Structure 1
Amino acid sequence: MEKKSIFFNLPYWEYNLVRHNLDVMHIEKKVCNNLIYTLLGLGKKSKDNVEARLYLKEMNIRPALWPQQRASGRTYLSPTYFTMSPKEKRLFYEVLENVKFPYSYASNISRCIRKRNLSGLKTHDCHVILQELLPIALRRSADKRVTSVLIELCSYFRVLCSKVLKFKELELLVEKIAQTMSNMETIFLPSFFTVMVHLVIHLALEVKIAGPVQYRWMYPIERYLRKLKSYVRNLSCPEGSIAEAYIANECLQSCSLYMEGGDSRSYWSRKSKDDTKHEIDKEGCLFPTIGKSYGSVEVISWIRKHGCKHIDMCFSIVNQMWSTITKSQ
């Protein structure tokens, strides 16, 4: 029995060009995890295991990769194109351990490597590894046939996530990704190609219709949800904790604008080489200006220019307006 979504009952649903928005963030994470854990042969997350080899035997394909029973009772798995030797794995780990990025570009990926084991990768870590580090780490750590295909896959994601997109390039990507996926099917096992991996082929076509992925992926939503989760102090009433913390932050942000010296909550930089200072004149400023000016700056006080008579006149007008408001109430 096949399940049919209720959205198909809508009269306009069949005319929608993009019926479901594919999240590039989660697709990148799943593809990166499948690649890394399979290439390094790490535990249960690897798509090259005994069950995957037995599935080849059931399908009666690739007999050279079928599991073999040894006299000792152990199951032997013959190496494939993407199987790495211990030396190649060591070179792969060295790239991830010694890489350095600019501040706030990426997290410290070396923290995820423990005793030649990779674990705890976040979504943005997979984003950086798939687009920046994987093509470099595979140049000396894998077969050329595997490296060429995976570099094409990494460049595909890099173009999709770029800020500027051209229709001609997207049309080439739609044609190229089909060839790339077919080449990957000749190298990796059928268990490697999960649903998330198959969705890769639809991303370029979706970008042509819906626009850049920066406006549709889940990074800003996930970061804001993490911020809201940090507000929870009472697990029995999470909604109340989030509401109270949100109101408190709004009050602090509003009050910080009226405080002289220091940065407000709306403008705060943790690490910045250019020490930006607030320019406050001698008479004090309610909302200090932020940034630097070019050329000579001449500060003219309003009081010195117009005198105190105008100030007294302004205060008298405000008092008259306030008295009329109170009388009308």
Structure 2
Amino acid sequence: MSSKTAVDMRWHYEERVKDGVLRHPANSEAWKSLDRIRESFGNESRNVRLGLATDGFNPFGNMSVKYSLWPILLFPYNLPPWMLMKEPYVFMSLLIPGKKGPGQDIDVYMRPLIDELQDLWGIGVETYDISKKQNFQMRAAIMWTINDYPAYAYMSGWSTQGKLACPCCGSNTSHLNLHHGSKQFYMGHRRFLQLDHSWLNQKMQFDNTREKRVAPTRPLGIDMINELSELREITHNKNGTKQTIAGFGKTHNWKKHSIFFKLPYWKTLLLRHNLDVMHIEKNVFENVIGTVMNIDGETKDSLNARLDLQEMGIRSKLHPIEEAEKIIWPKADYELSNNDKKAVFQWLMNLKVPDGYSANISRCVNAIECIILGMKTHDCHVFLERLIPLVARELLLRDECDALIEFSYFFRELCAKVLRIEDLELLENEIVLTFASWRKYSLLPFSISWFTYLVT
């Protein structure tokens, strides 16, 4: 390690601006919490704080070859923001190949890494600091993992499917089985409103019930340890026999005891798993644009969704109608007309953005068939945060427009380079009001099937 890099590894402690603004992971409460709880670790600025990220992909692109490659990457958060995400400082600790993803058995592959992390946390490694011309005992800790929602289940051990899919709500997840859509629907957003909010007592405007439940609290690490200690531990074997912990899907959603809990400090971390917001934005964008533009195969406003609305006795103006032995459903306010769709596609065909801002979106647009194909995650990120508000303001009614703009604003502020705690608290309150208002005014929650677990 060069003397310059050695100095940069202390940047978070010696040169970081400490004004309460979130510009770097070191400004986060999770970082400060670890330093408070583990003082011996936090007092040495040269100890390494790591982030772990993983996701699976097909290295053969869109070919029909069934193959999955799972890299597990480590990021040293000691470095300044303009360095820590650069290729020279990203370590690929594992590369898991196979015809399918590792699934819950990813812990088997990660065991050597966890063993090394245990050593790095306990006794550490004697290291020479060339910038200070001295030896010191370097230790390291994983601050959190970063992954999409399906991979969250592999990392945490809590299944993100079924009735209890939400890892924060746990057994208090508000769920409903859709008979026609054959999927789980997650509601209960009014629980997160202020306790004196008038919407809690309104029935007809929502789902015909008064909301008397309180918002669930996020479980602490020690709570998870206590819960897991009462459950049978799953053992991994070579024959691939599936095992289930008693009570799965009824009282809990644990698929396994996560190997991360073998790290002595893991249960004390304030934040153990992060969701990749770019993946979420892509899913949200595809759901929104597919439904508003009524794109075949992409829209969530299907006959089954309308039948589920009818069965629940809500959104009467969207219920399907049987005429002359045919079932039709009324056009919703959020769906663009054919002329409006053509105008949007023509606008996208002529759209010009600064170099490097996004891909050439016009290449992803087929104005003849009225479809959008081949948009990468970053393109969906730009479209959702910057372009959708322009479309909504021009072509949608006031209520639908406001709903989309509020949602777009939420992601734009969440992905800002600089964040303030008070702004995040305000965003947290506003997104609850946004979801609740959609339910109340029959706005963009055009169909129940739109609210998949990838969105909520």
TM bucket (normalised to shorter chain) is 0.5 to 0.7
For the pair 1:84 / 2:301, whether they are aligned, the reply is no
Check 1:184–1:62 CA distance in 2 against 1; reply closer, same or farther (3 A cut). Answer: closer
For the pair 1:140 / 2:394, whether they are aligned, the reply is yes
* Structure richer in strand, relative to its length: 2
Task: Map residues 1-329 of structure 1 onto 2, 5 A cutoff.
Answer: 1-2=247-248, 3-4=253-254, 5-7=256-258, 13-71=266-324, 73-114=325-366, 115=368, 116-185=370-439, 186-187=442-443, 188=445, 189-198=447-456
Question: For the Cα contact (< 8 Å) 1:152–1:180, is it kept in 2?
Answer: yes
Q: TM-score, structure 1 length as denominator?
A: 0.56
SS at structure 2 position matched to 1:104: coil
User: 2:269 & 2:311 partners in 1: Cα distance?
Assistant: 40
Question: For the Cα contact (< 8 Å) 1:38–1:45, is it kept in 2?
Answer: yes
Q: Give the equivalent residue in structure 1 for 2:39.
A: none
User: 1:12 & 1:55 partners in 2: Cα distance?
Assistant: 46
Task: Output the amino acid matched with 1:131.
Answer: E
User: 1:145 & 1:96 partners in 2: Cα distance?
Assistant: 24
The structural deviation recorded for 1:123 is 0.8
Question: For the Cα contact (< 8 Å) 2:365–2:371, is it kept in 1?
Answer: yes
Task: Output the amino acid matched with 2:317.
Answer: A
Question: For the Cα contact (< 8 Å) 1:13–1:19, is it kept in 2?
Answer: yes
The structural deviation recorded for 1:14 is 4.8
User: 2:275 & 2:343 partners in 1: Cα distance?
Assistant: 34
Question: For the Cα contact (< 8 Å) 1:92–1:141, is it kept in 2?
Answer: no
Check 1:54–1:93 CA distance in 2 against 1; reply closer, same or farther (3 A cut). Answer: same
User: 1:16 & 1:58 partners in 2: Cα distance?
Assistant: 44
Deviations 1:83-116 (A, max 9, x none): 2112222222233222111112111111121112
Question: For the Cα contact (< 8 Å) 2:291–2:301, is it kept in 1?
Answer: yes
Give 4+ residue runs of structure 1 displaced > 6 Å after superposition.
none
Task: Output the amino acid matched with 2:360.
Answer: N
Deviations 1:46-98 (A, max 9, x none): 11011111111222322321212221x43211022212112222222233222
Task: Output the amino acid matched with 1:68.
Answer: I
Deviations 1:186-205 (A, max 9, x none): 3212111111211xxxxxxx
Check 1:184–1:92 CA distance in 2 against 1; reply closer, same or farther (3 A cut). Answer: farther
User: 1:89 & 1:141 partners in 2: Cα distance?
Assistant: 9
User: 1:142 & 1:13 partners in 2: Cα distance?
Assistant: 47
The structural deviation recorded for 1:128 is 0.9
User: 2:423 & 2:403 partners in 1: Cα distance?
Assistant: 19
Task: Output the amino acid matched with 1:88.
Answer: D
Q: Give the equivalent residue in structure 2 for 1:243.
A: none
SS at structure 1 position matched to 2:362: helix
Deviations 1:136-191 (A, max 9, x none): 11212111111111111111111111111111211111111111122233321211
Question: For the Cα contact (< 8 Å) 2:261–2:267, is it kept in 1?
Answer: no
User: 2:436 & 2:350 partners in 1: Cα distance?
Assistant: 34
Question: For the Cα contact (< 8 Å) 1:95–1:137, is it kept in 2?
Answer: no
Which runs of 5 or more residues in structure 1 are unaligned? Answer: 199-329
Task: Output the amino acid matched with 1:6.
Answer: H
Larger-Rg structure: 1
User: 2:392 & 2:296 partners in 1: Cα distance?
Assistant: 20
Task: Output the amino acid matched with 1:81.
Answer: D
User: 1:172 & 1:179 partners in 2: Cα distance?
Assistant: 11
In angstroms, what is the RMSD of aligned CA positions?
1.9
User: 1:67 & 1:107 partners in 2: Cα distance?
Assistant: 40
Question: For the Cα contact (< 8 Å) 1:84–1:141, is it kept in 2?
Answer: yes
Check 1:184–1:95 CA distance in 2 against 1; reply closer, same or farther (3 A cut). Answer: farther
Check 1:74–1:110 CA distance in 2 against 1; reply closer, same or farther (3 A cut). Answer: farther
User: 1:13 & 1:143 partners in 2: Cα distance?
Assistant: 49
Task: Output the amino acid matched with 1:49.
Answer: S
Q: Give the equivalent residue in structure 2 for 1:265.
A: none
Task: Output the amino acid matched with 2:277.
Answer: V
Question: For the Cα contact (< 8 Å) 1:29–1:127, is it kept in 2?
Answer: yes
User: 1:112 & 1:77 partners in 2: Cα distance?
Assistant: 30
The structural deviation recorded for 1:13 is 5.0
Task: Output the amino acid matched with 1:197.
Answer: V
Q: Give the equivalent residue in structure 2 for 1:267.
A: none
* Structure richer in helix, relative to its length: 1
User: 2:391 & 2:450 partners in 1: Cα distance?
Assistant: 20
Q: TM-score, structure 2 length as denominator?
A: 0.41
Task: Output the amino acid matched with 1:169.
Answer: D
